[in-house]
Structure 1
Amino acid sequence: MKEIKIPELAESITEGTIAEWLVKKGDKIEKGDPVVELETDKVNVEVNADSAGVLVEIVASEGDDVEVGDVIAKVDENGEAGGDASGEKAEPKAEEEAPKEGPKQAAPKQDEKQDETKSDQGVIASPAARKRARELNIDLSQVSTRDPLGRVRPEDVEAAAKGGNEQKQEKPAKTAAPKNTEKTEFDKPVERIKMSRRRQTIANRLVEVQHEAAMLTTFNEVDMTAVMKLRSQRKENFIKKHDVKLGFMSFFTKAVVGALKEFPLINSEIQGNELVLKKFYDIGIAVSTDEGLVVPVVRDADRLDFAGIEREIGNLGQKAKNKELSLNDLQGGTFTITNGGTFGSMMSTPILNAPQVGILGMHNIVKRPMVMPDDTIEVRPMMYLALSYDHRVVDGKEAVQFLVRIKQLLEDPYDLLLEG
């Protein structure tokens, strides 16, 4: 009997949460097959089987917290698919026997798995609900839920198993009443949702940053006329030549790198009683995903041209969307850019991405009347910028000058193109 254990994941990761079992008890697996998806603080990773055999016992269920070295399942190297824990093939029960299709019922675990995946396609359900549905042989697509977001929960599966789903929809007051009998701090219905491990980590780190850093934010605005004109003039030739669109992020990344070279303290971090000035420019680009904010890193952004930056940002964004980011994609940034403007934000105060000492917030572009140097008024596309910084390292004067330099580079972007 072999054990499947949580392997060493990375230096900074020692624990995780079982997100989903990719195989079922009784399935035959090969060495190296992914058997479970593990949610960690940063990314989801798959745990592979160390040996071939039949999965005879699942020790850790979906939703359980586990640590490196914990046993999560057991494999019988001599077992057969559909066998019991001893590795012997289970005898079918009399009432389940089918003379013409008997052999198929003992073996096709993979078929069952495919049917289950097909029937559950498009259904939003918690891991615990999926597990309970498998145990009760319930089709999740046929389960109704009272969740306003349509997420199926274990209690919905239980109700479906008892044939009470329709009653639940027709008479919601009766099913909701027992919950209200328990005294809570609320007089009206509430729903409690366990925070994912990643969300808990994000919450803890954001609070830690505000406790440990002397965080301050300074604001400015930038006239985006020149950048928008330049993009309009060159976008067609750019995509033909490089096979990638020319977006705003490459301009901002180049401007940030140029400003960091002039104000090196903003590209540093505190380690003990020392300041570590970084002579490289790995720029983090904040990306919003369904599971929370992640910050993949564009490596050596100073060595990339506009096309290289756009291509790298596109690749990282796609990996984030597909949940394919690796730990290496997320570690080691020196400065972060976050774009709340994609969601319509007018102004915000971004929180530092520790141990970095600076983060730039971009916002939406809005046409506003602006007074020009000759006292005429013109309608210009304007964007507010916000720089949050650690006042322990960066003085206010330096932070303001850094943001002004970014403004200057963006309002005259031809210098950026020449440098790029």
Structure 2
Amino acid sequence: MAEIKVPELAESITEGTIAEWLKQPGDFVEKGENIAELETDKVNVEITSEESGVIKELLREPGDTVEVGDPIAVVEAGEKSSGGEASSKEDKKEADDNKAEEESKAENNEKKQAEPKAEKNEEEESAQDTASDRPIASPSARKLAREKGLDLNEVPTRDPMGRVRKEDVENFEKNTKAAEKSSSASGSDQKSSPQKQDEFAGKSVERIKMSRRRKTIANRLVDVQQSTAMLTTFNEVDMTAVMELRKRRKDAFQEANDVKLGFMSFFTKAVVAALKHFPLLNAEIQGDEIIKKDFYDIGMAVSTDDGLVVPVVRDADRRTFAGIEQEILTLSKKARDNKLALKDLQGGTFTITNGGVFGSLLSTPILNAPQVGILGMHTIQWRPVAIDQEKMENRPMMYLALSYDHRIVDGKEAVSFLVKIKELLEDPEVLLLEG
């Protein structure tokens, strides 16, 4: 027997939450094969087996918090034949399941024949409905469900074929008891607090436990608000020149580079150029020291189902427009597929967030600590703009927002930084020289 333990994750990560078991008791695993997915504060990590053999027991449930070094499963070391035996057991279970189904149908037919003819039609319809709704389950699962008085239709299963196993019934019973205990405790709290009892006045609500990542995001945002002197300045940029340049070049650009020419490469180039003019926005505070950085690793905020993540485009100053677009595309896909590694998220010097893709007209972005600057992009809207004292034109306009840490960045510097970005975007050819 060998224990599978939570491995060393990263210097700043000491614990995680079991997100999903990829293997179940009785399954054969090869050495190095993934058996579980662990959710950490930053990314999801797959835990591998250090032994080849059959999983005998899972020591933790999905949702449990585990620390580095904690045992989470037990593997009985063995050769691949063990997998064959496990497979044979599965085949036997399937045969037993089929036999049980046939016996059940035979029993139903005997009962139908013994019942009065007057109720025959009604009973046949009921029996057909029951048979069609009857879940697929192993005999041991059915037996346990009967003993515990549980409805197999309510028992969730991880089996891809939908088969309910004994361990599924056991887990369902544990979760049901825990929910009843929690409900009981909540009920006693409500009795002691009439105000809480009337909180929702009998309205339907759904309580959802926050994921580890969501809690981490919430804590970090609160910490930033409390530990920095955050201030935001705004400006607007006329996107006419950028949009015309994209329109002229987008087909040739995509054909040459196999990636679309988007807005993010223009903004990244403009940010890098502006950071070179105003280096304090590319710095951070450590104790009583200011760390100025001579490299430009630009974070790109990406929204996923699990929350906001900020993968980093490394050495953005050395990349071409095509290189930036390709890297953003790769990182965004990895983020949405939950495949980001810790190295993809660490060490950014400045962040860009684009709320405009969701229709945001204006917002105040929150700093991504320990960075001291973040640029917020917003939706492009056609608005009438005064060209001079006599002439008005409809132009594609975008509001920009720069949040900065006022402890080391003064208002003059922040405003000038944003004006520099505005100038570069309204004359994008200059980006080839400045960026």
Normalising by the smaller structure, the TM-score range is 0.7 to 0.9
- How far apart are the structure 1 equivalents of 2:98 and 2:355? 61
Partner of 1:26: 26
- How far apart are the structure 1 equivalents of 2:276 and 2:396? 28
Q: CA 1:130–1:182 in 2, change beyond 3 Å: closer, same or farther?
A: farther
Q: CA 1:137–1:351 in 2, change beyond 3 Å: closer, same or farther?
A: closer
Task: Deviation per CA, 1:25-56: give whole Å up to 9, x if none.
Answer: 01111110100000111111100001111111
Alignment of 1:186 with 2:209, yes or no, is no
Which of 257, 278, 281 does residue 272 from structure 2 map onto?
A: 257
The letter for the 2-side match of 1:36 is A
More displaced stretch, 179-188 vs 238-247: 179-188
- How far apart are the structure 2 equivalents of 1:350 and 1:225? 25
Partner of 1:59: 59
Partner of 1:274: 289
Partner of 2:240: 225
- How far apart are the structure 1 equivalents of 2:274 and 2:96? 73
Task: Deviation per CA, 1:208-231: give whole Å up to 9, x if none.
Answer: 000000000000000001111111
- How far apart are the structure 1 equivalents of 2:300 and 2:239? 20
Query: How big is the shift at 1:417?
Result: 3.0
Query: How big is the shift at 1:373?
Result: 2.8
Partner of 2:45: 45
Partner of 1:133: 156
Partner of 1:8: 8
Which of 386, 406, 412 does residue 391 from structure 1 map onto?
A: 406
Aligned 8 A contact 2:231 2:405 in 1: yes
Partner of 1:299: 314
Q: CA 1:131–1:296 in 2, change beyond 3 Å: closer, same or farther?
A: farther
Q: Secondary structure at the match of 2:295?
A: coil
Q: CA 1:98–1:313 in 2, change beyond 3 Å: closer, same or farther?
A: closer
Which of 403, 406, 415 does residue 421 from structure 2 map onto?
A: 406
Partner of 1:332: 347
| Structure 2 residue ranges without an equivalent (≥5) | 100-135, 138-151, 165-171, 177-185, 191-196
Q: Secondary structure at the match of 2:234?
A: strand
Partner of 1:176: none
Aligned 8 A contact 1:264 1:277 in 2: yes
- How far apart are the structure 2 equivalents of 1:69 and 1:29? 20
Query: How big is the shift at 1:325?
Result: 0.8
Alignment of 1:203 with 2:218, yes or no, is yes
Aligned residues: 356
Partner of 1:112: none
Alignment of 1:374-385 (within 5 A): 374-385=389-400
- How far apart are the structure 2 equivalents of 1:271 and 1:140? 55
Alignment of 1:321 with 2:331, yes or no, is no
- How far apart are the structure 1 equivalents of 2:40 and 2:18? 9
Task: Deviation per CA, 1:127-167: give whole Å up to 9, x if none.
Answer: xx9995238999499xxxxxxxxxxxx79x98xxxxxxxxx
Q: CA 1:181–1:212 in 2, change beyond 3 Å: closer, same or farther?
A: closer
Percent identity reads 64
The letter for the 2-side match of 1:54 is V
Q: CA 1:98–1:261 in 2, change beyond 3 Å: closer, same or farther?
A: closer
Aligned 8 A contact 2:157 2:163 in 1: no
Alignment of 1:157-176 (within 5 A): none
Answer 1 or 2: which has greater helix percent. Answer: 2
- How far apart are the structure 1 equivalents of 2:163 and 2:306? 22
Query: How big is the shift at 1:17?
Result: 0.5
Query: How big is the shift at 1:270?
Result: 0.3
Partner of 2:126: none
Q: TM-score, normalised by structure 2?
A: 0.76
Query: How big is the shift at 1:96?
Result: 3.7
- How far apart are the structure 2 equivalents of 1:375 and 1:282? 44
Aligned 8 A contact 1:35 1:46 in 2: yes
Query: How big is the shift at 1:77?
Result: 1.1
The letter for the 1-side match of 2:315 is D
Aligned 8 A contact 2:2 2:74 in 1: yes
Task: Deviation per CA, 1:239-265: give whole Å up to 9, x if none.
Answer: 122121111000000000000000000
Q: Secondary structure at the match of 1:193?
A: coil
Q: CA 1:283–1:98 in 2, change beyond 3 Å: closer, same or farther?
A: closer
| Structure 1 residue ranges without an equivalent (≥5) | 100-114, 117-128, 142-153, 159-178
Aligned 8 A contact 2:273 2:434 in 1: no
Rg: which structure is higher? 2
Q: Secondary structure at the match of 1:220?
A: strand
The letter for the 2-side match of 1:216 is L
Task: Deviation per CA, 1:334-357: give whole Å up to 9, x if none.
Answer: 000000000000000000000000
The letter for the 2-side match of 1:191 is E
- How far apart are the structure 2 equivalents of 1:305 and 1:137? 45
- How far apart are the structure 1 equivalents of 2:2 and 2:382? 66
Aligned 8 A contact 1:358 1:389 in 2: yes
- How far apart are the structure 1 equivalents of 2:53 and 2:364? 54
RMSD over aligned Cα, in angstroms?
Answer: 3.2
Alignment of 1:36 with 2:59, yes or no, is no
- How far apart are the structure 1 equivalents of 2:154 and 2:66? 18
The letter for the 1-side match of 2:373 is G
Q: CA 1:57–1:385 in 2, change beyond 3 Å: closer, same or farther?
A: same
Which of 289, 296, 308 does residue 323 from structure 2 map onto?
A: 308
The letter for the 2-side match of 1:66 is V
Aligned 8 A contact 1:26 1:83 in 2: no
Partner of 1:70: 70
The letter for the 1-side match of 2:200 is F
